[in-house]
Amino acid sequence: MSLMAPEFFAELCLPFHDHTVVANTYYAAPVPGTPLRLRIDFSRTIYEDTYGGLRLAVVHPDRGEIDAVALSFLDHGTFHRRDEATNTPPNTKQYGTFDKHHRPGEPPWKGAVTAGLRDAIEQYTAVWFPGARAASAPRRAAGRTPRSTPAQPATPAGARTR
C-alpha cells in the first residue's frame, strides 16, 4: 500500500510555497534565489515498512548534504494521543510510529498530531534559511494561527524600579 507522502506533507502545513514531493521525499527552496534546499524523508525503524520520524537535510547542489537532523515522532508527541487512546504499550513496534499498511480511505498516520513536528521543522529551517518564515508568511497564516511570544519584562528580573 502507498505511504501517501504528499498527503502527509500537506497535513504538516509547512510554510514553504516553493516545494514538491517526489515519491516519499519532500523538497523545498525555503528562500528563493539561494542554492540551499531542504529535503525531508521518513526515517525508518528496525521494523520493515515502519517509520519513526522524519529526517531533515540541508542540501547544496554542488557540495551535497551539508547538515541533517532526525526528528522522532516519539520526541515530538506525534502519536501520543493515538497510542494513549489505544493503550499501545511503549517499546513495541506500533508505539510512536506508523507503517505503510492502513485501511482503505485512511492515511497510515491516522491519529497523528503534527504541530510539534511542524514547530521543530520551522526552528531548524530558521537556522539554515533565515527569512524563510517571513517569505512564506501569507500561506502559513491561511491554515494556522501564529504562536504568540510572551512579552519581555521592561526591567531585568530583580532590578529595582522607583
Q: How far apart are CA 121 and CA 115, in angstroms?
A: 10
pTM, full prediction: 0.80
pLDDT at 77: 95
User: Could you tell me if residue 51 is inside a domain?
Assistant: yes
User: Could you tell me if residue 151 is inside a domain?
Assistant: no
* Cβ contact 10:28 at 8 Å: no
* Cβ contact 132:126 at 8 Å: yes
User: Could you tell me if residue 104 is inside a domain?
Assistant: yes
One digit per residue, the tens of pLDDT, for the chain of length 162 reads 468 999 999 999 999 989 999 999 999 999 988 999 999 999 999 999 999 999 999 999 999 999 999 999 999 999 999 999 999 999 899 999 999 888 888 999 999 999 999 999 999 999 999 887 655 544 444 344 333 333 333 444 444 443
* Paired residues of 69 in beta bridges: 56
Element (H, E) at 55: strand 50-60
- What is the domain extent for residue 125? 5-143
User: Could you tell me if residue 153 is inside a domain?
Assistant: no
Q: Domain count for the chain, please give it.
A: 1
